[in-house]
Amino acid sequence: MTATELFKKFFINGGHKLNWKYIESLSEFAKLKTCEQNPRWHNEGNAWEHTKKCVEAAYENFDKYFPENLYVLRDKEQHFRWVILAVLFHDIGKGETTEFFKGAWHSYNHEYAGEKIVRRMLWDAPVPFREMICATTRNHMRVLRIADSKNCIKEVIDLSRTWAMSWRELWFVEWCDTLGSIPLDQEDKDISIRKMEFMWSLITCLSCRDQAFGHSTSIGYMYDTLLSGMKFNWEHLLKKQRVCVLFGLPGAGKNTFIDNFLAGEPTRKERWAVVSRDDIRAELGYCKEGDKVVLSSEKEEEVTKVFNERLVQYVKEGKNVFINNLNLKKKYRDAYKTLLAPLGKNICWEYHYFEAPGIESNIERRPTFPENVLRGMVDTIEWPQPDEYYDLIYHISDK
């Protein structure tokens, strides 16, 4: 789905005004009408009423915080709609998390639930903008928390290194969240507004409103090293050895990418190795080549043993490595680092994300894979955070 197609759904005639009739028809938003909120902070009513007030604030404040001089290289009209959608979706997780507990309404962890809902609802939308909304939905609650932190400067810089959003977008979503709330005590709102104004000044001083601070680059590495009190390891910056973690749904294009990459230059096959659980399952005779299966726990342990042995051996040999699994969960990606840590190598961890044009393309490319399982995998994605990788590279196919 292109941005234009998406805008036609959410905005009247693809213009600037949200199509509230369409939005109300979506079950995820309809649930917000039954989501009561703690009147101490949200005396404006349920989560649906709060969302509408936040969107009103977004329309009123956009031009002030997204001035014309930002749009020399950007499309203002498109960016405007995406920011409005980010505000619209920021509390979408309350529909799944709201409960009455100890005498009050709470929506614990609604930001984490919201990230998954956004990714599922906007899966076919352009990835960078989708992930911007996922990121602002997940992190909007952190803005006021960081304002109270003793390490606020470090936390602002760390969070700014998330590629999928800028601090301007994140701050604006929480600014509208603040303006769209009507607490019982006006002093509480005044305090929140002062905190938000402080945060705006801080991100301005740090020059990270619109550009990530050393996102997955040598600057980011230098920053981390400086904080740890260590000397710069310049060999690390030379990227002597690369371990590339490929992640994405089945049928996203990982195998095709590897085949094309290795065929690009004759010497690449000598310098690069590929380790894949699917390949190992086939080699052990547990399935046919190209099949996607999950075996018994005993057989999967055998696959893991062979996988780990090969990964360690390839790195010892000084080869660059592609880890070609789904890798949707952080615990699996972290396990590779734990496995290779004893080698003491200067490894450059590259993450490569793959996505097909739409979920229907994944299903078409993997006809033997259970469709319901594949669709459900969208909710299992744990998006990598900047401290996981040195670089994050996107491979989004358009056909």
- Does the fold of domain 233-396 match that of domain 3-205? no
C-alpha torsion angle, residues 94, 99, 101, 103 (rounded to 10) = 90
Q: Where are the domains of the chain?
A: 3-205, 233-396
**pTM, two decimal places:** 0.79
**Class level of CATH domain 3-205:** mainly alpha
Tens-digit pLDDT profile for the chain (399 aa)?
677 788 889 999 888 899 999 999 999 999 999 998 888 888 888 999 999 999 999 999 999 999 887 776 568 888 899 999 999 999 999 999 989 888 888 889 999 999 999 999 999 888 888 988 999 999 999 999 999 999 898 888 778 766 567 899 999 999 999 999 988 788 888 999 999 999 999 988 887 787 655 444 444 545 555 555 555 555 555 556 889 999 999 999 999 999 999 988 888 888 999 999 999 988 888 777 766 666 788 888 999 999 999 999 999 999 999 999 999 999 999 999 999 999 877 788 899 999 998 899 999 999 888 899 999 999 999 998 877 887 788 888 876
**Class level of CATH domain 233-396:** alpha beta
